[in-house]
Amino acid sequence: MGILWTKLSETFSYFTETGQCKILLLGLDNAGKTTILYKLKLNEAVSTIPTLGFNVETVTPCKGLEFTVWDVGGQEKLRSLWNYYFQDTCGLIYVVDSNDRERYEMAREELFRVIETDEMREVPVVVLANKQDLPNSPKPDVLAEALSLQKLRDRKWFIQGTCANSGEGLYEGLNEMAKLVKDFKRTRQSW
């Protein structure tokens, strides 16, 4: 009991000390980013329109930790603006439409364009393989291979299958992001 209590206390005190973290929510258009954001925030599926700028909401994945989530539009003309949001980012949630195989290569290129910048160096990545409820959507491991995630050796990453409308897999992905952010912030403090 003593060891467990010590570990819980360490975790809680860490989150209390670090408090708020900026999380970027990126991905191509129509991947489900805004639906995911509001499912996490309101715990309900909302009707959305394409994001022409950004949405910002606060989400609390666990006690003592608050994510300020920046959902930035994914249309081609907006992707060149993503870099304006990179500063002070603690984590990247990258959403991919699992059912849209024709755009896997574009999704991979955009992901690598983002993470190869200096501002995003070592920032942990959680990929949400969204729309798993649709027929013929490949499993997350197939998408991980298509996105070349195994090449992400300079950072921690995780992939989670999700369905934005039902919420399936979203909280697992968010909890993993919380763990990765915790480790990332510890590493950054030692720089």
Can you give the residue ranges of every domain in the chain?
Answer: 13-189
Residues 6+ apart with CB under 8 A from 153: none
DSSP 24: E
Tell whether 133 is in a known binding site.
yes
Which position has the token pair 């206390």?
9
- Residue 18 confidence (pLDDT): 53
Q: What is the pLDDT along the chain (191 residues), one digit of tens a residue?
A: 444 334 434 444 444 445 789 999 999 999 999 999 999 999 888 878 778 889 999 998 877 789 999 999 988 989 999 999 999 999 999 999 999 999 999 999 999 999 999 999 999 999 999 999 999 999 999 999 999 999 999 999 999 999 999 999 999 999 999 999 999 988 876 65
Tell whether 28 is in a known binding site.
yes
Q: Which residue, 13, 25, 7, is CA-closest to 174?
A: 25
- Residue 11 confidence (pLDDT): 43
**What does each C-alpha distance from 149 to 11, 94, 142 come to in angstroms?**
28, 12, 11
Answer for the pair 80, 48: CB distance below 8 angstroms, yes or no.
Answer: no
Q: Which residue, 188, 191, 190, 10, is CA-closest to 89?
A: 188
Tell whether 167 is in a known binding site.
no
| Per-residue 3-state assignment (H helix, E strand, C coil) for 139-178 | CHHHHHHHCCHHHCCCCCEEEEECECCCCECHHHHHHHHH
- Residue 25 confidence (pLDDT): 98
> CA 183 from chain center: how many Å?
15
Tell whether 132 is in a known binding site.
yes
Tell whether 34 is in a known binding site.
yes
Instruction: Quote the CA–CA distance of 16 and 66 in Å, as a whole number.
Output: 10
Q: Is residue 189 among the annotated active site residues?
A: no
- Six-digit token string for 183: 């480790």
What pTM value is reported for the model? 0.88
Local structure of 6: helix, strand or coil: helix
Which of 20, 75, 87, 150 is catalytic? The answer is 75
φ/ψ (deg, to 5) at 124: -65, 150
Q: Could you tell me which CATH class the domain 13-189 is placed in? A: alpha beta
Answer for the pair 97, 130: CB distance below 8 angstroms, yes or no.
Answer: yes
